[in-house]
Every structure is written in structure tokens, then in C-alpha cells.
Amino acid sequence: MRITFSSPQAEFECIQAAWLQRVEETARRGVFVGGTEVAQFEEAFANYAHVPHAIGVGNGTDALYLALKSLGIGPGDEVITAANTFIATVEAIHHTGAKPVLVDCDPATYLLQLEQVRASCTQATKAIIPVHLYGQMVEMDKLNALAAERGIAVIEDSAQAAGARYQGKPAGSWGELGCFSFYPDKNLGALGDGGAVVTVSDERAASLRKLRNHGGTTRYEHDLPGFNSRLDTIQAMALALKLDYLDEWSRHRRQAAKWYSEYLRDAASLQLPAQRDEESHVYHLYVVRTEAAQRDKLKKHLQKRGILTAIQYPTPVHLTPAFAHLGYGPGDFPEAERAAGEILSLPMHIGMGEEQAAYVAEAVKEIAGRVLA
Ligand SMILES: Cc1ncc(COP(=O)(O)O)c(C=O)c1O
């Protein structure tokens, strides 16, 4: 059996006929950038996120960067985020000129530690970016409360959590701004790059619409220095079609996680994902953990069995050469550092059935052992 790590192809099959037809129609009409297709997706995505505005942009990194810019964040400001996030979260902060301030993660959920966020707030802190890592949402009621006490803005990095809800409220709708990536293997993935910012604020929305399009909303009217970061028309059409499947696909991912957890429960040296509740985890990734000495052996063994895995992420941000200048070093974020050496993401996608989960689990147990009755 061969089991891919993700399966954007299986998702594509669901929308293929409708999407190809729409691409042909819009191309014939000469619509290649913008158009009603983008506006329609933005409206649908805003409704899905229970907020008044969604602004399509070029990718998730730009979504974070432009969200920070819309708040006027720049040199002299500090922005707090997780040490164990994807590098893009910190790149976005860096490029505004603000200083990224990192915090460690919880060893069970891998989500940022709220106590460390609280302890890291200073007079210069202008924003906090909680990362809903692996598809599980941060406890946003608590995070929002500590930010509100100090007048700090919250920008959710929801790149991995499209479709998740915490206490009934969708990912992205808790913060002043919520940022999404539509990279093809995300839970809501385009057929190339794409991203969006959702917001409750009319003011931020107006600013973002200008920032993404050369500083204006009317051609050759430039109110501020902007960027070129728009959501492509053909991507918006794919996303609009896929959005109709998102809840079904989230249910499928949760079911696949249940199969894994069931079949792996007797794996002796394996830590399974800690799930707070059903709704707030959409299993973008199913991440297990083993001893550092065993992890790479396990990865290689699975590959031999035809099972593709990944490590998200092998190096915490503070130990990458890119962010050495922040002045952190080994030992500063011990949980993030330990996790980076021990985690392994198993295949997780809508093509995973019970048979595939059982096959992966058996192969894992050939290395990770079995609890003997
Ligand atoms: C947590 C997180 N933040 C930001 C991004 C950046 O998104 P993109 O790749 O669309 O720029 C990603 C995905 O790649 C991500 O996983």
C-alpha cells in the first residue's frame, strides 16, 4: 500500500468539472484578475467565518504581514507569537520592522503557553499572534481577555485551522483580524497560492483592500503605498467550490484521527495528539511523538512501508539562521526544542480510510512497540 502525506488531488476531483467550466467561462470573458468571482468568494468566506469582511490576498504570509500593516505596526513595536510556528508567522512580523517576541509551547497540545504570553507583554507590545497549530485552536477566550486588559491587538494565525470552531465561534473570528493560507495542502486549499484576512473591523477591512492593491481600490488612485497581493480569480473559483465541502472534510479528518488514536492506543512509546474537544480541532496534521533517538528511524521505516510522513517543524524559529539575530539560543524554549526532535506528522487527508489508518498504525508499532497485555 502507498499512502501519501496529503491529497490535494482527491479534493480536486470533487470540484474538477465545475471549476474547469468556470475557468473557461471567465477566461473567455477576459477576467484574469479580480472580478465578481473574487468578491463572491470573499462574501462566502466572511459568512463562513461569521464576520463582516474577508479580504483575499496572495498567500498566508502576506495575510499576516498585511494584517500587521493595517494595524500600523512597525519599528519600535513588539509582537508576541509561538517559537514553534511555521517560519512565515515570524517573517511577517520581521518585515514590518517590529520585533518578534517568542514564547514556548505546551508539551501536550503544542499551542503557545498563555502564561508566557502574559509574562512577555511590555509597553511596546502591539499585537499577539496565536497560532492554531496543527488545526487545534488556542483557548481564545483566555487569550483575548489578557490582550484586552492591556489594549493589545490579537491577530489569529488560522493558516492551519480553517473550519475549526472554539466555543462555537470560527477560527479567525476571535481576533481583530484572522489570517488564512490557502496553500494547496491546507484544510481549505487553493490550486496554487492564496490567502485571506477576515476581520470584524470596517476600518481594517478598508485599509487591507488598499494595502493589497497598490494602495487604492480604484485604478490609478493611490491613497497609501501598497503592495500587489491579490487572490487570483481562478483560485477564488476553486476556493468557493471547496468551501462547500469544508465541514464534511473536517468531519472526515476527525474520523481519521479517531481511527489512528484507536489503532495506536497500544503503541508503547508513542504520545498521541491531545485534543481539547471535537469542534476546535480540524486535524490539519495528526502529530505523534516518540523518543528523539527513535523518531528518524520511525520516519525511515514508514517510508519503506510506502507511508509518507513529515516533521512540522524540525527547527524552532529561534534556532534558525534566519532569526539568530533575535538573540535567543538553545534552552530558551525547551518544550519547543524537545518537541522539534520528537514529533512526526502521519498522513492526514480526506483519502484516509480506516484501512489506511490501520495499516499506518501497524507499521508504526513495528518500531514504537506494543503494550503487552
Ligand atoms: C502556521 C502558518 N502560518 C503561515 C503560513 C503561511 O502561509 P503561505 O504558505 O500561504 O504563505 C502557513 C502555511 O504555510 C502556516 O502553516
DSSP assignment string, 242-293: HHTTHHHHHHHHHHHHHHHHHHTTTBTT-BPP--S-STTB--S-EEEE--HH
Choose which CATH entry (3.40.50.10540, 3.40.50.1820, 3.90.1150.10, 3.40.640.10) describes domain 8-243.
3.40.640.10
The pLDDT score that the predictor gives to residue 370 is: 77
* pLDDT tens by residue, 343-373: 999 999 999 999 999 999 999 999 988 776 5
Q: Rounded to an integer, what distance in angstroms lies between the CA atom of residue 262 and that of residue 302?
A: 19
Measured by CA distance, the residue closest to atom 12 of ligand 1 is 159
The pLDDT score that the predictor gives to residue 230 is: 97
Q: If you measure from the C-alpha of residue 182 to the centroid of ligand 1, how many angstroms do you get, rounded to a whole number? A: 8
Q: Is a pLDDT exceeding 90 seen at residue 228? A: yes
Q: Rounded to an integer, what distance in angstroms lies between the CA atom of residue 275 and that of residue 266?
A: 18
Residues with CB under 6 A from ligand 1: 59-61, 85-86, 88-89, 131, 157, 159-160, 181, 183, 193, 195
The pLDDT score that the predictor gives to residue 269 is: 87
Nearest 5°: CA angle at 237, between 236 and 241?
115
Q: Is a pLDDT exceeding 90 seen at residue 225? A: yes
Q: Rounded to an integer, what distance in angstroms lies between the CA atom of residue 340 and that of residue 347?
A: 18
Helices 8-29 & 233-243, crossing angle to 10 degrees? 130
Q: Rounded to an integer, what distance in angstroms lies between the CA atom of residue 164 and that of residue 19?
A: 25
Mean pLDDT of 48-71: 98
| Nearest ligand 1 atom to alpha carbon 195 | 10
Per cent of the chain over pLDDT 70 is 99
Predicted structure pTM score: 0.98
pLDDT band at 69 (very low <50, low <70, confident <90, very high): very high
> CATH 3.90.1150.10 region(s) of the chain?
246-368
Contact 93, 81 (CB under 8 A): yes
Q: If you measure from the C-alpha of residue 59 to the centroid of ligand 1, how many angstroms do you get, rounded to a whole number? A: 8
* pLDDT tens by residue, 95-138: 999 999 999 999 999 999 999 999 999 999 999 999 999 999 99
Q: Rounded to an integer, what distance in angstroms lies between the CA atom of residue 159 and that of residue 131?
A: 8
Q: Is a pLDDT exceeding 70 seen at residue 289? A: yes
Written as nine digits, the cell of 303 is 517510508
The pLDDT score that the predictor gives to residue 368 is: 87
Task: List phi, psi (to 5°) of 147.
Answer: -70, -40
pLDDT band at 299 (very low <50, low <70, confident <90, very high): very high
| Nearest ligand 1 atom to alpha carbon 182 | 10
The fold of the 246-368 domain, in CATH, is: Aspartate Aminotransferase, domain 1 (3.90.1150)
Q: Is a pLDDT exceeding 80 seen at residue 141? A: yes
Q: If you measure from the C-alpha of residue 86 to the centroid of ligand 1, how many angstroms do you get, rounded to a whole number? A: 7
Mean pLDDT of 264-289: 95
| Nearest ligand 1 atom to alpha carbon 131 | 1
> CATH 3.40.640.10 region(s) of the chain?
8-243
Radius of gyration of the chain (CA): 21
Among all chains, which residue has been given the C-alpha cell 466572511? 46
